[in-house]
């Protein structure tokens, strides 16, 4: 069975401690898996692993298939003799509990470029063979991505719609000319992907050996400035110049009074259907190589989505448009013989969304923080949870449990205290206990809630364009006392 009663923690690898300014796939990631195993947690939930661009959001990546090179561990590169200790002597001084993305990106790419130069001279046959096999196995997306990133670098980082027309439209001659003049730049991009996936595969193997399943994340939409939109414009609503004619967002809601203007290009679902949803099948295959279970972000968009005309300043003006519905899930179910998918079914949920979710028996999400502006019948209160759901104290899009409690209206705080029969002095763990004790098949909390952090631990403010995704925890916070407290919670509630 895919879904059995378990608990876990939300933590993106960027939030791990370490000396290089950002969490990575090195020693601290292994310590983190040890922590989960010792505390009796069987789940580790992460955010999308793709290469981030402007705004540093893992939900706006340069590819739906590639990995984030900033997560590559210098410590592991040293083990492979791709870096020497002297390569690290010019390391900047980084903050311990946050990410300065600008300086981190410059530093990590400097190191990876040094590793690439050393790789070109290596006599390590297994490393060379591993790279060649990776390039062959992943060529279907890797070649497009490597070209895309190399051209982007060549063009000063601008979005692909500002490239010369011949490259924007992938003219055969222009692509051949670019390849002949920039072969090293293209190869360098492939090498970065090889390093990322080689290190991530090791993480997956270690997690499995410790009984920890990884919950990954598929954003429903892809970024406009991505290899996907550039290489497959026929799959999206783009005009003859490659510009979107309509974009994704959500109407005004709990998070934002003007809605959220995401700006992602929208799919031509009719084209996807004619192709047997082959792009989606490849995408899910790719993610399931890297994780055990998928959280499908913005699930309601498969039933119906908010379409905003291109050029609108906010998402207030738009219309609901019918999504592909059951046809895409039928194609996926036929391909995968079962769907290891949990549905992010938050927001404006209509009967067609519920029908789509329940037709494939997909667990939905329950967020405990949402429960206290209503009555005891509120579906986000644990006594109302069905078994087939995934319960959270909060997610990366919410404030921390303590941060929520400290800023909530007094009537919600009062309802919360009465419901939990608590004083509010240890609100994070009182909320964790309520979620863990529920009938929900999975129970999860962000690490920030285990550490009882306030607003300073928040990961993301939906609708805020910058200043997100930078939270990290300091080394030493995963104490024996924390392990014991979490282990006891997992024992008491059979998780």
Q: Read off the pLDDT of residues 412-439 as tens digits, 9 standing for 90 and up.
A: 999 999 999 999 999 999 999 999 999 9
* DSSP conformation class of 170: T
Q: 3-state DSSP call for residue 82?
A: coil
Question: For residue 3, which phi and psi values (nearest 5 degrees)?
Answer: -110, 110
Count H helices, E strands: the chain?
A: 18, 12
| β partners of residue 215 | 45, 293
Give the number of other CB atoms < 10 A from CB of residue 471.
23
Instruction: Give dist(CA 160, CA 158) in Å, integer.
Output: 6
d(Cα 9, Cα 45) in Å, to the nearest integer? 6
127-164 pLDDT, tens digit each: 999 999 999 999 999 999 999 999 999 999 999 999 99
- Using one digit for the tens of pLDDT, what is the confidence trace for 64-81? 999 999 999 999 999 999
pLDDT value of position 255: 66
Alpha helices in 12-170 (DSSP H): 27-38, 74-79, 101-120, 125-137, 139-154, 165-168
- Give the model confidence (pLDDT) of 206-225 as tens digits: 999 999 999 999 999 999 99
Catalytic residue among 397, 399, 430, 449: 397
State the average pLDDT for the chain: 96
Q: Is 297 a catalytic residue?
A: yes
Burial 339-352, CB ≥16 within 10 A → b, else e = bbbbbbbbbeeeeb
DSSP per-residue letters across 419-456:
HHTS-STTHHHHHHHHHHTSS-SEEEEEHHHHTT--GG
Over residues 92-102, mean pLDDT: 96
Q: Among the options 217, 344, 399, 449, which is catalytic?
A: 344
Q: Do residues 237 and 244 touch, judged by C-beta distance below 8 A?
A: yes
At residue 260 the predicted structure's pLDDT band, cuts being 50, 70 and 90, is: confident
Separation of alpha carbons 272 and 274, rounded Å: 6
Cα 17 from Cα 248, distance rounded (Å)? 34
pLDDT band for position 383 (cuts 50, 70, 90): very high
Token digits of residue 195: 């390093």
Is 397 one of the annotated active-site residues of the chain? Answer: yes
The end-to-end CA distance of the chain, in Å, is 15
Point out the least confidently predicted range of 372-376, 381-385, 462-466: 462-466
| pLDDT digit string, tens, across residues 269-312 | 999 999 999 999 999 999 999 999 999 999 999 999 999 999 99
Q: Say what the pLDDT of residue 206 is.
A: 98
C-alpha neighbours within 13 Å on the C-beta side of residue 259: 20
How far apart are alpha carbons 403 and 250 in whole angstroms?
A: 25
Which one of the listed residues 20, 28, 297, 430 is annotated catalytic? 297
Instruction: Catalogue the long-range contacts made by 88-92 (C-beta closer than 8 Å, 24 or more residues apart).
Output: 91/19, 91/20, 92/21
The mean pLDDT value for 377-390 works out to: 98
- The pLDDT of residue 252 is 86
Share of the chain above pLDDT 70, in %: 99
pLDDT at 449: 98
Token couple for 435: 């979620």
Q: Is 207 helix (H, G, I), strand (E, B) or coil?
A: helix
Question: Considering the entire predicted model, what is its pTM?
Answer: 0.97
Cross-strand partners of 161:
none
To 10 degrees, what angle do helices 183-209 and 125-137 make? 100
* Nearby residues of 404 by Cβ (< 8 Å), 6 or more positions away: 369, 394, 398
∠123-126-129 over CA atoms, to 5°? 95
Q: Where are the domains of the chain?
A: 365-459
The answer on pLDDT for 465 being more than 80 is: no
């Amino acid at each position: 069975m895919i879904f059995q009663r378990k608990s876990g923690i939300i933590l993106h690898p960027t939030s791990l401690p370490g000396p290089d300014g950002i969490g990575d796939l090195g020693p601290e990631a292994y310590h983190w898996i040890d922590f989960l195993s010792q505390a009796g947690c069987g789940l580790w939930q992460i955010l999308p692993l793709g290469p981030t661009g402007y705004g540093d959001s893992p939900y706006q990546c340069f590819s739906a298939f590639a990995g984030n090179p900033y997560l590559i561990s210098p410590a592991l590169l040293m083990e492979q003799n791709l870096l020497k200790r002297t390569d690290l002597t010019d390391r900047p001084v980084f903050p311990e509990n946050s990410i300065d993305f600008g300086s981190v990106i410059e530093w990590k790419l400097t190191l990876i470029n040094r590793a690439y130069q050393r790789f070109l001279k290596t006599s390590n046959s297994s490393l060379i063979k591993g790279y060649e096999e990776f390039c062959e196995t992943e060529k279907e997306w890797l070649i497009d991505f490597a070209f895309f990133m190399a051209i982007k670098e060549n063009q000063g980082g601008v979005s692909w719609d500002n490239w010369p027309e011949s490259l924007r439209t992938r003219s055969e001659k222009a692509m051949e000319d670019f390849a002949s003049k920039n072969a090293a730049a293209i190869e360098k991009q492939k090498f970065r992907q090889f390093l990322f996936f080689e290190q991530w595969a090791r993480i997956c193997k270690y997690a499995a050996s410790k009984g920890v399943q990884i919950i990954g994340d598929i954003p429903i939409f892809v970024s406009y400035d991505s290899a996907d939109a550039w290489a497959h414009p026929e799959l999206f609503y783009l005009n003859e110049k490659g510009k979107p004619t309509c974009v994704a967002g959500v109407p005004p809601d709990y998070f934002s009074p003007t809605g959220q203007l995401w700006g992602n290009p929208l799919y031509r679902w009719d084209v996807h259907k004619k192709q047997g949803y082959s792009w989606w099948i490849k995408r899910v295959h790719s993610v399931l190589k890297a994780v055990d279970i998928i959280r499908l972000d913005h699930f309601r968009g498969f039933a119906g989505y908010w379409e905003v005309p291109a050029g609108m300043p906010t998402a207030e003006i738009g219309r609901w448009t019918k999504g592909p519905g059951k046809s895409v899930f039928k194609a996926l179910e036929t391909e995968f013989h079962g769907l290891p998918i949990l549905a992010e079914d938050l927001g404006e949920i209509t009967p067609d969304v519920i029908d789509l979710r329940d037709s494939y028996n997909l667990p939905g999400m329950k967020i405990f923080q949402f429960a206290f502006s209503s009555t005891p019948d509120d579906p986000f209160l644990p006594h109302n949870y069905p078994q087939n759901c995934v319960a959270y104290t909060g997610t990366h899009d919410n404030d921390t449990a303590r941060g929520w409690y400290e800023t909530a209206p007094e009537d919600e705080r009062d309802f919360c205290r009465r419901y939990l029969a608590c004083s509010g002095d240890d609100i994070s763990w009182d909320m964790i206990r309520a979620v863990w004790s529920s009938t929900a098949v999975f129970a999860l909390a962000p690490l920030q809630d285990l550490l009882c952090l306030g607003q300073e631990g928040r990961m993301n403010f939906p609708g805020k364009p910058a200043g997100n995704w930078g939270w990290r925890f300091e080394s030493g916070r995963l104490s024996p006392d924390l392990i014991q407290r979490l282990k006891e919670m997992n024992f008491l509630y059979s998780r």
